[in-house]
Amino acid sequence: MEKRPCISVGQMFAMLFVSRMVVTMTYGTLLIGDSDIWDHLISAGISFILTFLLVLPIYKLFKMDNKMNVFDNLRDLMGKYGYIFILIYVVYYLVVTLHTLTIFDNFISNAINPPISISLLSIFLLLSSCYGAYKGLEALSRTSTFIIVATVCSLIFLSISLFSSIETINFKPLMYNGYESVAEGTLYMISQSSCIVAMGLLLPMACGSKLRGIIIWNIGVYLSFALVIMLVVGTMGDFADTQLFPVYTAASIGKFGSFRHLDSLYLGIWICGIFLKTSLFLLLASEGVKKIWGEKIRRRFILGFSVILSISTFFIGNFSLLRGTFITEFLFFFLIFNVVIIPLVLIFLKKRKLSKEEKIFES
Amino acid sequence: MGYIKHFMDVYIHGKNQKPQPKSRGFLSKSLSENIEFFKREFGKTADLSIKYLNIQDVPSAFITIGGMVDKNTLTNSVIFPIVQAKIEGSTNKEKYEYIRDNIVAACDQLQVSNYDDAFNMIMSGFALFAMDGCDCMLSLGVQGFSFRSISEPSSEVMQRGSREGFVEPLMINMTLIRRRLKSTDLKFELTQIGSVSKTSVCLCYLDGKVSKEILSKVREKLSQVNLESIMESGYIIPYLEDQGDFSLFSGVGMTERPDTVCGKISEGRIAVLIDGTPNALIVPYLFVEYFQHLDDYAMHPYFATFTRWLKYAAFLLSTLLPGLYVGISTFNPEILPGPILSKIALAVGTTPFSLMLETILIHLIYEIMREAGLRIPRPLGHAVSIVGALVIGETAVSSGLIGGPTLMVVALTAISSYVIPNLYEPISILKFAFIVVGGLLGIWGIMILFTVVLVNICSKNSYGVPFTSPLAPFNIFAMRDVLVRSGWSFLAKKRIRVQDLPGSEVRDKNDRR
The tens digit of pLDDT for each residue in B429-471 reads 999 999 999 999 988 899 999 999 999 999 999 998 999 988 9
pLDDT score recorded for residue B509: 57
Measure the CA–CA gap between B465 and B179, rounded to whole angstroms.
Answer: 30
Give Cα B258 distance to the centre of its chain. 11
pLDDT band at B512 (very low <50, low <70, confident <90, very high): very low
H-state helical runs in B170-242? 170-180, 212-223, 237-240
Asked whether the predicted pLDDT for residue B21 surpasses 60, the reply is: no
Q: Do A267 and B447 touch (CB under 8 A)?
A: yes
Residue A121 near chain B (CB below 8 Å)? yes
Nearest CA in chain B to A114: B331
pLDDT digits (tens, 9 = 90+) for B258-307: 999 999 999 999 999 999 999 999 999 999 999 998 888 888 999 999 99
Residues A178-205: what's their mean pLDDT?
89
Cα separations in angstroms, B152 against B161, B255, B433: 11, 12, 36
Q: Do B472 and A145 touch (CB under 8 A)?
A: yes
Q: Do A128 and B449 touch (CB under 8 A)?
A: yes
Q: Which of B202-206, B363-367, B395-399 has the highest mean pLDDT?
A: B202-206
The overall average pLDDT reported for chain B is 86
Q: Do A121 and B441 touch (CB under 8 A)?
A: yes
Best probe of the B interface among A11, A143, A274, by most B CBs < 10 A, is A143
Residues A115-132: what's their mean pLDDT?
86
A-B Cβ pairs (cutoff 8 Å, strict): 96
Q: Which residues of A touch B454 (CB under 8 A)?
A: 143, 146-147
Q: Could you please report the per-residue DSSP string of B107-142? A: SSEEEE-BHHHHHHHHHTT-EEEEETT-S-EEEE--
pLDDT score recorded for residue B124: 83
pLDDT digits (tens, 9 = 90+) for A64-86: 988 899 999 999 898 888 999 99
Measure the CA–CA gap between A352 and B290, rounded to whole angstroms.
Answer: 56
Q: Do A136 and B459 touch (CB under 8 A)?
A: yes
> Under a CB-based contact definition with an 8 Å cutoff, are residues A194 and A335 in contact?
yes
Helix (H) or strand (E) holding A296: helix A295-316
Nearest to B468 by CA among B481, B455, B452: B455
B441 → closest Cβ in A7, A124, A279: A124
Measure the CA–CA gap between B101 and B89, rounded to whole angstroms.
Answer: 12
Asked whether the predicted pLDDT for residue B17 surpasses 80, the reply is: no
Nearest to B440 by CA among B500, B359, B349, B378: B359
pLDDT digits (tens, 9 = 90+) for B472-503: 888 888 888 888 888 888 888 877 888 888 88
DSSP bridge partners of B50: B63
DSSP bridge partners of B137: B112, B130
Asked whether the predicted pLDDT for residue A235 surpasses 60, the reply is: yes
DSSP bridge partners of B280: B255, B273
End-to-end CA distance of chain B: 28
Quote the ipTM score.
0.89
- 3-class state of residue B147 by DSSP: coil
- In this structure, the strands spanning B199-206 and B186-193 are antiparallel
Question: Which domains occur in chain A, in start order?
Answer: 10-352 (1.20.1740)
Residue A82 near chain B (CB below 8 Å)? no
Cα separations in angstroms, A152 against A16, A138, A257, B133, B241: 14, 21, 20, 84, 35
Q: Which residues of B touch A10 (CB under 8 A)?
A: 474
Asked whether the predicted pLDDT for residue B313 surpasses 90, the reply is: yes
Poorest-pLDDT segment among B203-207, B360-364, B378-382, B471-475: B378-382
Q: Which residues of A touch B448 (CB under 8 A)?
A: 124-125, 128, 271, 275
Give Cα B264 distance to the centre of its chain. 14
pLDDT band at B348 (very low <50, low <70, confident <90, very high): confident
Best probe of the A interface among B286, B451, B460, by most A CBs < 10 A, is B451
> Under a CB-based contact definition with an 8 Å cutoff, are residues A73 and A61 in contact?
yes
Asked whether the predicted pLDDT for residue B14 surpasses 50, the reply is: no
- Tell me how close the Cα of B208 comes to any Cα of chain A, in angstroms: 27
Asked whether the predicted pLDDT for residue B383 surpasses 80, the reply is: no
Residues B193-213: what's their mean pLDDT?
90
Q: Do A128 and B452 touch (CB under 8 A)?
A: yes
Asked whether the predicted pLDDT for residue B225 surpasses 60, the reply is: yes
Asked whether the predicted pLDDT for residue B386 surpasses 80, the reply is: no
Q: Do B473 and A279 touch (CB under 8 A)?
A: no
pLDDT score recorded for residue B436: 95
Measure the CA–CA gap between B177 and B166, rounded to whole angstroms.
Answer: 9
Residue A115 near chain B (CB below 8 Å)? yes
Which are the contacts of A24, defined by CB distance < 8 A and separation ≥ 6?
A221, A224, A225, A228, A247
Nearest to B289 by CA among B504, B509, B487, B471: B471
pLDDT digits (tens, 9 = 90+) for A243-293: 778 888 888 877 776 666 667 777 777 888 999 999 999 999 999 999 888
Asked whether the predicted pLDDT for residue B5 surpasses 60, the reply is: no
Which are the contacts of B274, defined by CB distance < 8 A and separation ≥ 6?
B170, B199, B200, B201, B202, B230, B232, B233, B236, B281
- Tell me how close the Cα of B444 comes to any Cα of chain A, in angstroms: 7
Residues A347-353: what's their mean pLDDT?
91
pLDDT digits (tens, 9 = 90+) for B63-103: 998 888 888 888 888 888 888 888 888 888 888 888 888 88
The overall average pLDDT reported for chain A is 85
Residue A108 near chain B (CB below 8 Å)? yes
B458 → closest Cβ in A8, A143, A272: A143
End-to-end CA distance of chain A: 31
Q: Do B459 and A120 touch (CB under 8 A)?
A: no
Q: At what angle do helices A118-135 and A263-293 cross, to 10 degrees?
A: 50
Residues B115-123: what's their mean pLDDT?
87
H-state helical runs in A136-237? 137-163, 180-191, 194-202, 210-236
pLDDT digits (tens, 9 = 90+) for A312-324: 666 655 555 555 5
Nearest CA in chain B to A112: B332
Nearest to A302 by CA among A136, A95, A140, A72: A136
H-state helical runs in B266-395? 301-331, 338-350, 355-375, 381-387
> Under a CB-based contact definition with an 8 Å cutoff, are residues B113 and B25 in contact?
no
The residue that leads in pLDDT, B204 or A177, is: B204
Q: Do A267 and B455 touch (CB under 8 A)?
A: no
pLDDT score recorded for residue B156: 82
Residue A134 near chain B (CB below 8 Å)? no
- 3-class state of residue B235 by DSSP: helix
Which are the contacts of B271, defined by CB distance < 8 A and separation ≥ 6?
B177, B203, B204, B205, B261, B264, B265, B280, B281, B282
Residues of chain A numbered 181-200 and touching chain B (CB < 8 Å): none
Q: Which residues of A touch B442 (CB under 8 A)?
A: 114, 116
Q: Do B448 and A145 touch (CB under 8 A)?
A: no
- Tell me how close the Cα of A284 comes to any Cα of chain B, in angstroms: 17
The residue that leads in pLDDT, A12 or A6, is: A12
pLDDT digits (tens, 9 = 90+) for B31-69: 999 999 888 888 878 888 899 988 888 899 999 988 888
Helix (H) or strand (E) holding A336: helix A324-336
Residue A4 near chain B (CB below 8 Å)? no
